[in-house]
Structure 1
Amino acid sequence: MFPFSQVLPAVVLTLVRALFDPMFWVVVLLVALQYRRMAAARREFFGLPVTNGVWRDTLAATGYGFLGGFLGSFLMVLIGLSLSGSGLVYLWPVAILLMLINARFLCFAYAGGVLSLSNLLFGFPEIHIAQVLALVAVLHLVESALILTSGHLGAVPVYFKSPGGRVIGGFTLQRFWPIPIVALAVLGPAVVQQGVAMPEWWPLLKPGVSGDAANLVYTLIPVVAGLGYGDLAISRTPGEKSRLSALFLGVYSLCLLLLAVLCQYVRILAFVAAVFSPLGHEMVIYIGKKMEFRGRPLFVPPSRGVGVLDVVPDSTAWRAGIRSGDVVLFLNQHPVNSRPELEMVLADLWGPVEVQFLHGPEQVFRREVVFRAPGRPFGFVPVPDGGEEEAMDLSTAGPLGRWWQDFWRRIRG
């Protein structure tokens, strides 16, 4: 049976060791900078104040990252994923080169697929295909769990331009997590060091070194990584979209992991796994975007009143109970049916304010009185009227990708 009594304490202790790795804190700092950038984007696009929650979000992301790291570590040890002799050193350079084509290609799903295909077709570089693709699968499985639990947090309101040219409201979902994860390293049968000897049937993935797997001795080493998630929520709420994205990514990860294990025994499946790694990931992204733009947008102007896209926490609107998806009807008995009317009423509105609005999915009528201090923003972002000029650019093309687009436009005339 699997030696849980040996492995689980070793995994926990190795994860704790990651706290003393300077690289882990470098990744935490980079994550904090990303959350600061997101807060600045809210201020720049909508004039919303930047709250003091950047470090709170960073600490929460670090906590989720540790939980995800424990899950990923357990899976990596369970399937016998070892860093020894696998050729993982090539992953980061290839991923960075691919990023020059498109920013979303900074992902091991694409680099792992390219490296595996190159090995199968040309024999270079020398990598352990099953180990590389299994690592890609485990990291994405951890990412799917993190998206499920926290992918909807901190959604940023934005205006999108639909394929038909209409400006619609929605959210960008962006989360970043520092991930300490435990990996195996093969010491070898003749090395006398502290390690973990595994049963004969283990590992499911053959080690990337020569020798009898039953006699090999392994040690656990901490590895620091960072995971990021980016998505759009237009026809679904951020919570609904993150759950759907987690499901799609989880299915992709399990399929890739199964192919990585089986390709050790059936050669043709190595080609299938190498192709599925990037194309399956692209399919997940494509289906997610298509479902959002083809669905009925949630954040469009209502038949009366002004729709609410997002609300600033602790603002006047927030204290009145207004939330995303509500419809504001009257402010101090003044009807508001458009953004210009809303701005005109709010210009001289301070002190006690009576707000009448429709709340929640059932659009229940509510009337609340709240105090607004002079000079303070009311605190909610209205849905777009449809003719706004400002809209988010969804292109993620890198320098080479933009050069190719410009070159192709010149060729076509």
Structure 2
Amino acid sequence: LAAAGYGLLGGLLGSVLMVFIGLTLSGSGLIYLWPVAILLMLINARFLCFAYAGGLLALTNLLFGFPELNIAQVLALVAVLHMVESMLILASGHLGAVPAYFKTPGGRVVGGFTLQRFWPIPIVALAVVGPAAVQQGVSMPDWWPLLKPEVSGNPADLVYTLIPVVAGLGYGDLAVSRRPGEKSRLSALFLGVYSLTLLLLAVLAQYHRPFALLAALFSPLGHEMVIYIGKRVEFQRSPLFVPPVRGVGVLDVVPDTPAWRAGIRSGDVVLSLNRWPVNSRAELEMLLPAAGMPVEVEFLHGPQQVFHRTVAFPGPAGRPFGLLAVPSGNEEEVMDLSTAGPLGRWWMELGRRFRGRNSP
């Protein structure tokens, strides 16, 4: 329900932006976007994004004249969708973050969160009816539309109508050195800058042909840069959820469990159970079944606040304690971050075999 509510707001924002710049679905070649995006997804799942399909279609149009499409309209649509996505990420990208263990580029296992969101977006889009005289309607200012439709006739004499369109926007990210809220805000900033830049280039491409090539290149390459910068700034900082010097670090806590009722939250450090010190996940798991009822928990909240809380713990036959500890650093089961599709995996396997044959 929350995703649907945010999706409605995103659809309203997207509709206003599309009408404001005059982005239409008539004669722009948008029909090619989905087939190309699905084909690209077979290489890598992240290529399902229209930034790649739109840029590729624009480049083939500029180089070979096929397919017929309005480059400015297609890339403006990509920009508007990403602008809406950036606002949705800012508002709700951190909600529903799932704790997991990851392996950093250096091979270290750390704790963090996966951010996965999907929003259904109902959008009202423009379509050109044709040159006609109407008795009722809304007169637009002389500067409108910023993007001229790819249809015959004088743009000033064209009649537009509004049609409903349902779209979907998705967001996937990792929070390792930042809290999910901080990470989603940073991602929204990067994506917002990308979408504004692409929209400006798309509008300029309508009036100055050289900007069409620049916009076509920026659509996929700029999106890749957003992903690269996001990962780089995330893994350059020290990870948050690593084993502390003393005690057991807390990655996440399940709501309405003994640990939650004791006041333990993500980022805290459990120091003892029933006055027995704990310094590893193994010690924590060993002491919990023997704890019985009640359980006295000593934990560190923040840099200096130490709390002692007593909560009822049903034991191994009842509900779990509800605490997920940070990894010790040598776990073998970690989340697979690969997004390669079937064709991408086949190509990588082919490369490994080729290198194996040519190795001394």
TM value normalised by structure 1: 0.84
The equivalent of 2:350 in structure 1 is: 407
- How far residue 367 of structure 1 moved from its aligned partner, in angstroms, is 1.4
Equivalent residue in structure 1 for 2:311, among 370, 374, 387: 370
Q: Is contact 2:132–2:157 with CA below 8 Å preserved after alignment?
A: no
Q: Which amino acid aligns with 2:16?
A: F
In 2, Cα distance between equivalents of 1:200 and 1:73: 20
CA distance in 2, matches of 1:193, 1:225: 32
Relative to structure 1, the CA distance from residue 180 to residue 306 in structure 2 (aligned partners, 3 Å threshold; closer, same or farther) is same
How much does 1:290 deviate? Answer: 1.4
Amino acid at match of 1:307: G
Equivalent residue number for residue 132 of structure 1? 74
How far did residue 166 of structure 1 move? 1.6
Q: Distance in 1 between matches of 2:159 and 2:246?
A: 70
For residue 377 of structure 1, what is the amino acid of its counterpart?
Answer: P
Please identify, of 364-373 and 151-160, the stretch whose mean Cα deviation from structure 2 is larger. 364-373
Question: Judging changes above 3 Å, is the alpha-carbon distance between structure 1 residues 406 and 194 closer, same or farther for their aligned structure 2 residues?
Answer: farther
Deviations 1:303-360 (A, max 9, x none): 0000000110111111111111110001110111001100100122232211111114
Q: Secondary structure at the match of 1:392?
A: coil
Q: Distance in 1 between matches of 2:137 and 2:280?
A: 68
1:129-278 superposed matches below 5 A: 129-190=71-132, 192=134, 195-278=137-220
CA deviation after TM superposition for structure 1 residue 266, in Å: 1.2
Q: Which amino acid aligns with 2:94?
A: H
CA distance in 2, matches of 1:237, 1:194: 52
2:261 paired with 1:319: yes
1:136-190 deviation digits (Å, cap 9, x = unpaired): 0000000000000100011111111112222111111000101001100111122
- Quote the offset at 1:197 in angstroms: 3.7
Query: Is this contact kept in 2: 1:183–1:220, CA < 8 A?
Result: yes
Letter in 2 for 1:64: Y
RMSD: 1.2
Compute the displacement of 1:192 (Å): 5.0
Please give the secondary structure, in 2, of the residue aligned with 1:263: helix
Q: Which amino acid aligns with 2:147?
A: L
Contact 1:326 1:363 in 2 (8 A): no
Pairing of 1:263-302 with structure 2 (within 5 A):
263-302=205-244
Q: CA deviation at 1:194?
A: 6.1
Structure 2: runs of 5+ lacking an equivalent: none
| Residue type at the aligned position of 1:339 | R
Q: Please name the residue that 2:322 is paired with.
A: 379
Q: Aligned equivalents of 1:222 and 1:193: distance in 2? A: 23
Amino acid paired to 1:283: M
Structure-2 residue corresponding to 1:52: none
Question: Contact 1:148 / 1:243 at 8 angstroms: preserved in 2?
Answer: yes
**Matched residues in 2 for 1:215 and 1:171: separation?**
53
Q: In the TM superposition, what is the alpha-carbon distance from 1:104 to its structure 2 partner?
A: 0.3
Mapping 1:340-351, distance limit 5 Å: 340-351=282-293
Question: How high is the sequence identity, in percent, across the aligned residues?
Answer: 78
One-letter identity of the residue aligned with 1:69: G
What's the TM-score once normalised by structure 2's chain length? 0.96
Q: Could you say what secondary structure the match of 1:173 adopts?
A: strand
* 1:373 to partner: Cα distance: 2.0
Mark the runs of 5 or more structure 1 residues left unpaired by the alignment. 1-58
Match of 2:40 among 98, 106, 112: 98
1:366 is matched by which residue type in structure 2?
F
Match of 1:71 among 6, 9, 13: 13
Report the count of equivalent residues. 354
Asked if 1 retains the 8 angstrom alpha-carbon contact of 2:33 and 2:54, the reply is: yes
Q: Are the counterparts in 2 of residues 198 and 217 from structure 1 also a CA contact under 8 Å? A: no
Shift of 1:193: 8.3
